[in-house]
Amino acid sequence: MPLQVIPEIKIIEETETELEPLFRVLIHNDNVTPMDFVVHTLKVNFYLANEKAAEIMFTAHIYGTAYVQTLAKSEAEKRINKAHAAANNAGYPLKFSMEPE
């Protein structure tokens, strides 16, 4: 019977890691940006299903703002910047903002 070597197990002390703070992404209604563009932007930049994107768009349309999703700060900033760039390139004033969770 061949000899089996048991690997040495090293115990690593638990260290604290600081998680990035979470932020709520909000979308703001305007009277210029077409509804289909808003839904498309929510789907492409925030990876939402068509139904969810349409629901958020209608909520913002009715109430003025709507919650989109909660993300780590850097990810929220990245997605908002991409959405703003796409809207700006299309000539629309679509606006997103973020607030601490």
Pick from 61, 62, 51, 52: nearest CA to 94:
61
In 10 A of CB 28, how many CB atoms?
Answer: 14
pTM of the model: 0.81
In 10 A of CB 56, how many CB atoms?
Answer: 21
Q: Mind listing the pLDDT tens digit for each residue in 21-73? A: 999 999 999 999 999 999 999 999 999 999 999 999 999 999 999 999 999 99
**Residue-level pLDDT at 1:** 60
Backbone angles phi, psi at 7, to 5 degrees: -65, 150
Q: Mind listing the pLDDT tens digit for each residue in 21-30? A: 999 999 999 9
**Residue-level pLDDT at 42:** 98
